[in-house]
Amino acid sequence: MTGKLDGKRIAILATDGVEEVELTEPRRAVTDEGAITEIVSLSDGEIQAMKGDLQPTNTYPVDRVASAASASDYDALLMPGGTVNADRLRMSPEVRSFVTDMFNSGKPVGAICHAPWTLVEADLVRGRTLTSYPSLRTDIRNAGGNVVDEEVVNDKGLVSSRNPDDLPAFCAKIVEEFAEGKHRVHHEGATS
């Protein structure tokens, strides 16, 4: 039996403070369809996952550091949330560069909850429609993005959701988009 994502390599961008269920549920969804996942983080070792930003849960081994990650190594990017996770990631020039390269190569990206903060910091939401955790919506609008309050939004391969309650819809949509593969590169004002 073959999966929709057989042979696809998915980068999961996460660090300490990642919301565990936003890491594990989408990871399971893509691996159940045959994808290979790698956790890309700020440094080697393990990352500490959390529940609701406050309760430590499990740790997960890092497969590659962002400074050594290349868009050419992956078919898609998964960005789980968690307030601390997203805040740390968005401050890293190597993370912003990696995410920008993924976007510029037209690879699909799934971002849930607080993850769009990194997209805002990398100036990647301008002209895009997406959703997020409510506290990020002003940041997204100020960065030129169009914010909607929906369970899951897909804008030319950028899949976004609001919070863990949206995981069933988010997981289904990332599998679909990751299977579809590369999209035409989006630039402000361009249509694709």
Distance, in Å, from the CA atom of 26 to the CA atom of 190, rounded to the nearest integer, reads 30
The verdict on whether 183 is a catalytic residue reads no
Distances (CA, A) of 76 to 54, 97, 120, 169, 181: 29, 15, 19, 18, 8
DSSP lists the bridge partners of residue 60 as 47
Q: Which two tokens stand for residue 156?
A: 């030319």
**Percent helix / strand / coil, the chain, rounded to 5:** 35, 25, 40
The verdict on whether 186 is a catalytic residue reads no
For CA atoms 30, 27, 126, 165, the dihedral sign is positive
Instruction: Supply the residues annotated as catalytic.
Output: 113-114
